[in-house]
């Protein structure tokens, strides 16, 4: 009988567990995690090993409980903790963001309304890029439905106490999937092609999170990513923001962002791209956080 394994991570100052929980709760059709009470349960994949973890919060610490029977090496435990840190973006110091927001008419109110909210991450590269592709053009609720179908058709699962928890499909599985099976999920043919192409590029090592992270700046990464079919400026910036954690990432064409800016500024129309370039200069390293906070006004 193995005892349940537990680990703890101290959270930084500018952290409000409830704000992050509220963000995770905003979409009831989400398939990548479940929330019961004040606890988040999800699967994490480390070295091809599926780990079921439950996250809770107490007195400035995140508690990570491992629910399934796995034996982890020290190195794997370290990777798991890094995953959780990345998920909540714990290593970033948000003081400069709130400093900036205090003097910014657009950010002032949202920053205090959602104080302690972290830019929740999608650490897995294939998941992040797939989610970007799925989210193109269609309504968010439909995108969540497509993701659920994709995950429940091609992902692996862990059952625990009558609940089912899913891991996102691996690039290998999607690369080998039959086009007909992908089409049956009601993705457009183009999106199926994009997903398979990306999966194959990852499998062959032609693209990787590590390689993109080693690039000099967001412009270089964006230029490299947008050469891939199906990845335009929006998707590239979305992935840079949620997965690569580049503060300057800024999906300036994002409809949600434009609508939020319109509301906050009381504009008659959506803001122009030139006004977004101005915001990019003002917000610098905090474009991603600004976007994430503004999204919270809508969803």
Q: Is residue 140 at the binding interface for DNA, with CB under 7 A as the rule?
A: yes
Is 212 or 234 the residue whose CB approaches DNA more closely? 234
Beta-sheet pairing, 61-66 with 157-160 = unpaired
**Active-site residue, 176 included:** no
Of the candidate residues 242, 260, 261, 276, the single one contacting DNA (CB under 7 A): 242
DSSP letter at 115? T
DSSP letter at 35? E
Q: How many residues of this chain bind DNA (CB under 7 A)?
A: 36
Q: Is residue 295 at the binding interface for DNA, with CB under 7 A as the rule?
A: yes
How far is Cα of residue 11 from the mean position of the Cα atoms in its chain? 19
Contact 50, 43 (CB under 8 A): yes
Of the candidate residues 35, 70, 138, 203, the single one contacting DNA (CB under 7 A): 138
Question: In the stretch 146-165, what mask flags binding to DNA with x, by CB under 7 A?
Answer: --------------------
* Calpha distance 124→57 (Å, rounded): 23
Of the candidate residues 174, 236, 243, 279, the single one contacting DNA (CB under 7 A): 236
E strand or H helix at 144, and its extent?
A: helix 140-154
Q: Is residue 139 at the binding interface for DNA, with CB under 7 A as the rule?
A: yes
Q: Interior CA angle at 259 toward 257 and 261, to 5°? A: 70
* Calpha distance 43→1 (Å, rounded): 22
The neighbour count for residue 237, using CB atoms within 10 Å, is: 28
Question: In the stretch 11-50, what mask flags binding to DNA with x, by CB under 7 A?
Answer: ----------------------------------------
Placement of tokens 């109110």 in the chain: 109
Q: Is residue 145 at the binding interface for DNA, with CB under 7 A as the rule?
A: yes
Binding segment for DNA among 48-56, 182-190, 260-268, 271-279 (CB under 7 A)? 182-190
Question: Which chain residues interact with DNA by CB under 7 A?
Answer: 132, 135-143, 145, 186-190, 226, 228-236, 238, 242, 251, 253-256, 259, 295, 299
């Amino acid at each position: 009988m193995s005892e349940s394994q537990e680990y703890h991570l101290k959270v930084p100052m500018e952290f409000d567990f409830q704000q992050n929980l509220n963000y995770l709760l905003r979409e009831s059709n989400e398939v990548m995690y479940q929330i019961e009470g004040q606890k988040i349960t999800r699967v994490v994949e480390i070295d091809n090993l599926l780990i079921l973890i439950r996250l809770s919060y107490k007195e400035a610490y995140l508690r990570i409980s491992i629910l399934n029977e796995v034996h982890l090496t020290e190195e794997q435990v370290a990777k798991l903790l890094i995953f959780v840190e990345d998920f909540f973006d714990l290593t970033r110091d948000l003081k400069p963001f709130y400093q900036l927001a205090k003097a910014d008419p657009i950010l002032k109110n949202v920053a205090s309304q959602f104080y302690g909210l972290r830019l929740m991450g999608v650490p897995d590269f294939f998941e992040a890029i797939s989610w970007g592709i799925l989210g193109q053009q269609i309504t968010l609720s439909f995108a969540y439905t497509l993701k659920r179908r994709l995950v429940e058709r091609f992902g692996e699962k862990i059952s625990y106490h009558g609940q089912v928890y899913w891991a996102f499909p691996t690039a290998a599985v999607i690369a080998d999937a039959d086009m007909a099976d992908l089409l049956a999920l009601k993705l457009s043919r183009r999106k199926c092609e994009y997903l398979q192409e990306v999966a194959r590029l990852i499998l062959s090592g032609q693209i990787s999170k590590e390689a993109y992270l080693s690039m000099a700046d967001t412009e270089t990464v964006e230029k490299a990513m947008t050469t891939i079919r199906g990845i335009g400026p929006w998707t590239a910036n979305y992935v840079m923001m949620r997965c690569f954690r580049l503060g300057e990432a800024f999906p300036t064409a994002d409809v949600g962002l434009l609508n939020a800016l319109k509301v906050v500024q009381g504009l008659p129309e959506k803001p122009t791209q030139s006004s977004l370039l101005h915001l990019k200069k003002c917000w610098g390293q905090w474009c991603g956080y600004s976007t994430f906070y503004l999204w919270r006004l809508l969803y």
